[in-house]
Structure 1
Amino acid sequence: MRWSYSSARLFRQCQRKWYFAKIMAGPGKLTDDARLRARRLSHLSTLSAWRGDIVDTVISERIIPALQMGDRIKSGEVRTYARKLFDQQRAFAEKNRKEDLTLVKSHHPSEFALFHEHVYGPEPTEDDFDAAWHDIVTAFSTLYALDDFRAQLVAGMSYYAQPPLHFDIVADLKGKAVPDLIVYTDDAPIQIIDWKVHTDGTNDARGQLASYAIALSRMIKPNRNFPLEGWQAPAKDIVLKEVQLLLGDVRTHELTDDDIEDAEAFMMHTAFSMEQLQDGKKFANCDIEEFEATSDPELCASCAFQSICWETAGHA
């Protein structure tokens, strides 16, 4: 079992949600219909999450590679590429509404999208898609208007978008963290940046960013393309930035000893709990009744696995 911040959040929110995501829809060859169905459901995305994914993809695949090459991409080019992705993925989701257990995401790398609303409702309207596109445009307009932040970003020497960080949590429990961006700059602290596309910015990402900083500080060896020197630093010395792209707010988080202790405790507690609950068992030997359901009806209603969760558990 490998701990990650996202899997830990699923586990804390609803053990059954984590059960489907990590056991039924986990890596490896899937043969039975139940696991294939869970894999399909695991790819469902709400329109709200999808618009954020579009923004993340454009930044990672267009803006950051251009910075690495010393180039600048104009905002109009960014918008054009984002619109292409938006239209392709919307069309793909519309075309693949019907459940198809043979559909594989890796076979459709750029256009793949499946909408939660197509399965559970309410059916998205044209106004909903217009609103999603408006938020995407706003996010990029905001990014290009953050002059001080962009100047600091351009000053970087090397950039790594969504790099996997593999690290040890405790004993034989392993962790994996995937920050949105790591920036290395000569004679300046390492920066870890997290893009947020939310209209509600009341919940900050301090704990999430702390887990990324801890992951980088604990890596035994660098990723293959990381700088040869200076690729690692103590968690407290890493500059953490949460960029709220719909609010125009750049929040810099400086970790205290208490922040690091809290994040490490969260990692160890959830990783150990996940390990104990699964107990090395494979899917065929697991019982869904061993996994707690959420008591939050809103969380249950937004869960991608709700249909088979209640069917399997014998609920109406």
Structure 2
Amino acid sequence: MSNKLEWSFSALSTLRKCNRMYYFQYLAPSHHFTNSLRRRAHELKKSKSLLMWRGSVIDKIMELEIMPRIKDKLPIDYNEMANRAIELAKRQFKFSEDRLYKVKENSESKVGADYCILDVHDTNVPYKEEDLSKVYSSIKEIIQNIPLIKMPNGSLLVDFLAKATFLIPNLRAWGFEFENVKISPQLDLFMFVDNKAVVLDWKVSESDVSDYSRQLVIGGITVLDTYRRKANEGKGKRLGYDDIRLIEVNLLKQNAKEHPFNKQVVDECVDYIYLNSDDVEMLTDGKPFDQLNIEDFPITDKEGTCMFCKFRSLCTKILLNNNQYHEETYDNIVSAKQPAQLEISF
């Protein structure tokens, strides 16, 4: 390949769904305000539905409030944590409602945890106050029930976490590289428990069929490669497959399951990444964004994929305007949308 590709696991699955979605999700977005299309793509990428937002609030409380207390061996009042989560959610809702993300000075790095873009404000997705109340009550219940969650062997999750001798939440700094492809995953939680390296992934999902195993395997490969390099530099112990555990915890369903990590699953995952990287290279040819042509990124022929794509409004407007983007026209169309009833199941 002519240029290094850097992506997360989700980029692969997005590419398989729709090339145009991949364009908006991974190539177009820029937090700068100099290019209106790229800024708009950035805002849409960051926007969340109410259900997605519920999960992100819980993730943030786990990262900023609960995990630091576990790391410092401090007692945790989960009712208090639930109340803090609701307070954070309300601040985020207000930030989004006031569209403060449109203010150039309000970058995510400066604003911190309160930064939020919700589709109910950004693209005028309809909702009812009842839906918002359900989000708050669901967040509270999920946090309060964390002490009830059991590990696959029947022990309590909180007891397992309390045994951690090394703990880093929301780890983004590590990655691995092969064949000119760099993978940079986000690890919800990395720690050592009983002399085993643990990659733990938080989920807040209703689905019983979603498969997150490959995402966790990529986290495991990242840990394997990181400690291989550390050992080569004389800075640590080399880890083997048996030294790494992959655990998925569904906070909503209050259960946990462990995924296998061995040479076979690693080889299968690496093959998957490599085969799909060819598709990206064919689309981009290593070109910078300003040399890419949106017409080279076809839309999907699957109605369901298009229907639930967060870039649907932007993509539709550009298609109807001969693949050109005019910000004022787009904003007028979004603002003119009429609210409607929307039921959300929790």
What is the TM-score normalised by the length of structure 2?
A: 0.81
User: Is 1:194 the equivalent of 2:201?
Assistant: yes
In the other structure, the counterpart of 2:221 is: 214
Q: Given the alignment, which residue of 58, 70, 73 partners 1:70?
A: 73
**1:37-77: per-residue Cα shift (whole Å, max 9, x none)?**
22222211111111000010000111111111111221122
In the other structure, the counterpart of 2:44 is: 41
Gapped regions of structure 2 (runs ≥ 5): 151-155, 323-346
Contact 1:199–1:246 (8 Å) recurs in 2: yes
Q: Do the aligned partners of residues 290 and 282 (structure 1) sit closer, same or farther apart at CA in structure 2, a change above 3 Å counting?
A: same
Separation of aligned partners in 2, 1:221 and 1:243: 29
Give the alignment of 1:128-147 within 5 angstroms: 128-146=131-149
Q: Given the alignment, which residue of 160, 174, 190 partners 2:168?
A: 160
* CA displacement at 1:151 relative to structure 2: 0.9
Contact 1:88–1:111 (8 Å) recurs in 2: yes
Percent identity reads: 22
Separation of aligned partners in 2, 1:128 and 1:41: 21
Gapped regions of structure 1 (runs ≥ 5): 223-227
Q: Given the alignment, which residue of 249, 263, 266 partners 1:260?
A: 266
SS of the residue 2:246 aligns to: strand
* CA displacement at 1:156 relative to structure 2: 0.7
CA RMSD of aligned residues (A): 2.3
Q: Do the aligned partners of residues 133 and 125 (structure 1) sit closer, same or farther apart at CA in structure 2, a change above 3 Å counting?
A: same
SS of the residue 2:73 aligns to: coil
In the other structure, the counterpart of 1:25 is: 29
Separation of aligned partners in 2, 1:85 and 1:221: 39
Q: Given the alignment, which residue of 111, 115, 129 partners 1:112?
A: 115
SS of the residue 2:201 aligns to: strand
SS of the residue 1:295 aligns to: coil
**1:187-227: per-residue Cα shift (whole Å, max 9, x none)?**
521111111101223223211111110121123646xxxxx
Q: Given the alignment, which residue of 12, 15, 21 partners 2:19?
A: 15
2:175 maps to amino acid: F
Q: Do the aligned partners of residues 299 and 118 (structure 1) sit closer, same or farther apart at CA in structure 2, a change above 3 Å counting?
A: farther
What is the TM-score normalised by the length of structure 1?
A: 0.88
In the other structure, the counterpart of 1:225 is: none
Contact 1:161–1:181 (8 Å) recurs in 2: yes
Aligned residue pairs total: 307
Per mean C-alpha deviation after superposition, the further-off stretch among 12-21 and 83-92 is 12-21
SS of the residue 1:233 aligns to: coil
In the other structure, the counterpart of 2:6 is: 2
Separation of aligned partners in 1, 2:47 and 2:95: 13
